[in-house]
Structure 1
């Protein structure tokens, strides 16, 4: 039986497969093709310069052992870099090669002895945690579905997250965009989905990264002329989680590269999960073609938790920390801190700390002191409920009247003012404001804000309404 490049490489792969982790084998060895065998040198084709650099950096020893077993001590390995154009052009990407060798060649041969330490061969964009022969997911195992408590404010997002975790890339929730204000659990839920996927599908490559870090990596890749390697790296991810995607606002180069990565992943059945502090309709300076893709799957909002959910969150937190606290104190904290989960948990931690450090019993009086200080020292966001109550009281009407469908002029104006102040004083999306003030859509809220702006500059009485309510809402 004659020895061929394919048979030699097949035997090398069998040895390598037995000695590295399955995920690492799938990522770094399955894409390689054996091309030719001549003068005891095996030529293998790799999809990018980055691949070649990575193999030399991390797998040179195992490659040397496996090839020496097959071809003896004089064995050599030749890399042929053949990179597909990532923009959909089916012509192979041609690396620059010396003009003396240039003809119809559409690849570059790089003949490197085993273990050559070229100081320039480095990962073109350093992702902390890529080590141990595989891509680390960057996920926080403490963020799980178990400690992400369900309530009316997050039921849709949590259920969608569970569906995605059960069948990544196989549901209509692709991409899954989780949006909402600060401290409501967007990052927690994104990590929980990733952690669950890794648990169910350990062979899948999952990567969590912030949009800010992604942007910085892209800038570094451009500086080092490694843009294509950057794209190729992200195209091998099975589940890509990008946190705070609104950070891409105004960054046209990063948006462009993410557009192509997104398309490749989506077309190949990979899962994309995004978080944002705004709904797609409210995002500024994001290209329309990218926004349209954000809307392909599901946009699920996290809202401020209701009272019952806040109580459950506190009880769960105390249970996990092994701390007991009377129900009336838990309910007091839940009743008085409504803005977000982060502040809620912060207040209960402060209460436990004060109690243990000062050896004081946890009482309602102590809770009142802590909550008062906590709320005073925290930059607090006015709630939409509070805005509606303030506007309703000012115009001497019930909140139900404010939210009603009536077209009476003074009620319509009160409703528009409530929407205007909600947009101005909270981080809630237009859609969220509309749904909380009488089940209106985002277009109605936008129209209300424009109307208030116009009337404030043309109608003295209306301007007085705005000034009076502004004073009442200043906290």
Structure 2
């Protein structure tokens, strides 16, 4: 007897709930339902375009495999955004785990407790808005989640934990949330973790803890930047733990940023680590070249200046470590342009960035291979050896790729440095890494980090990849 499609989908959700973490299931699948079924194709309603994109790109294979196993036939799945207003049973906020007993609790919708702009510690910069934030492959998840939080604070992705390296735009994104929420009439407190700690110390000294707690526990949206600095500070962690609980239990939004995920903070209390992971964790990676170009073009538009396309290409190709460094390079070019009566040409751009731009002709294959070895914590002997295990083969191929792109050495010359390997082997390694960089964000990030290290003094910390 063929299973009813509606029943099949409900059974699939039940099975997926067992397979996935509660946070994943509640965020992406809870509340979805069957819209239609025809010719073995299940059309599933989801609450927004972001959820649709996530399901299609991250969870589709798992869902298809589970559904096919239940109905015992090959199936297709399509996701469609269904207006939550038309479907009252289709707008649940993600439930979150209770840290003590793993029961779910649904926060109450936040009330707008204060008039706009009266929060005591918002410290928001008006220019940091979503309209001035350039979105690319490296930050798309974080941007979409931040936008969703700003539209429905306390109802989705609570807390929102954004992490990534220095100068990649975390502060811009957090302040964009704060500005949008404040414009909507919510009271917002935006602070750095250092400010939170200093305020706590001062309040203890002055015996004003009641006022301290009033400041942080009565806002609609609490945004804490660079939370990694509270690691190891017991009193700060204790106070933040209780502040978090108070806000969360009242359905208020908490947004946090860090330069690393919670589990990587060795001296962060486990109970705080657990709470930071309750909602959605979104990382921001190094921007790819297209995103860097878009950032430069947006910057020029904001300043009302014209910068030639070839200059944009040059800057974006050579300045790669962070958005902060990219904007610094742009500002330096603009400063030089003012001295040249506003004229921007390639000679002037190269002159302005001479101390920042790498010079590939000065690099040797040996330096490239030594840098790769340092990054992956392997030896030159490992790279030269006939070993084919992934722990050695991958760094070897990365060395081939970077030696090809960052030096003027020929394929045979690179092969000679790697144990007299044939030029066809080097070409294969180059193409393999090139393909991975196009499809795998983590590999792209590694390649960019190694490149950045090639042109600066000092050693780069070894990667944990292998």
Per the normalisation by structure 1, the TM-score is 0.54
Count of residue pairs the alignment pairs up: 284
The 3 A distance-change label for structure 1 pair 324 and 303 is: same
Alignment partner, residue 226 of structure 1: 208
Contact kept in structure 1, 2:383 and 2:395, CA below 8 Å: no
The 3 A distance-change label for structure 1 pair 197 and 471 is: closer
Contact kept in structure 2, 1:205 and 1:237, CA below 8 Å: yes
Find the partner of 2:256 among 271, 274, 279.
274
The 3 A distance-change label for structure 1 pair 259 and 416 is: farther
Alignment partner, residue 172 of structure 2: 188
The 3 A distance-change label for structure 1 pair 413 and 375 is: closer
The 2-side partners of 1:300 and 1:387 are apart by: 32
**SS of the counterpart of 1:300?**
strand
Alignment partner, residue 296 of structure 2: 314
Q: Flag structure 1 segments of 5+ consecutive residues without an equivalent.
A: 1-129, 377-385, 419-433, 441-469
2:309 is the alignment partner of 1:327: yes
Contact kept in structure 1, 2:372 and 2:399, CA below 8 Å: no
Alignment of 1:339-358 (within 5 A): 339-358=321-340
Cα displacement (A) at 1:304: 0.7
Contact kept in structure 1, 2:286 and 2:445, CA below 8 Å: no
How much is the aligned-residue C-alpha RMSD, in angstroms?
Answer: 3.7
**SS of the counterpart of 1:191?**
helix
Cα displacement (A) at 1:191: 0.3
Alignment of 1:125-274 (within 5 A): 135=120, 137-171=122-156, 173-199=157-183, 201-202=184-185, 204-274=186-256
The 3 A distance-change label for structure 1 pair 197 and 412 is: same
2:283 is the alignment partner of 1:283: no
Q: Flag structure 2 segments of 5+ consecutive residues without an equivalent.
A: 1-114, 359-367, 401-439, 447-455, 461-466
Cα displacement (A) at 1:132: 9.4
The 1-side partners of 2:158 and 2:117 are apart by: 30
Contact kept in structure 2, 1:336 and 1:371, CA below 8 Å: no
Cα displacement (A) at 1:438: 9.3
The 1-side partners of 2:132 and 2:119 are apart by: 28
The 1-side partners of 2:151 and 2:116 are apart by: 27
The 3 A distance-change label for structure 1 pair 245 and 348 is: same
**SS of the counterpart of 1:142?**
coil
Per the normalisation by structure 2, the TM-score is 0.55
Alignment partner, residue 103 of structure 2: none
Contact kept in structure 2, 1:241 and 1:272, CA below 8 Å: yes
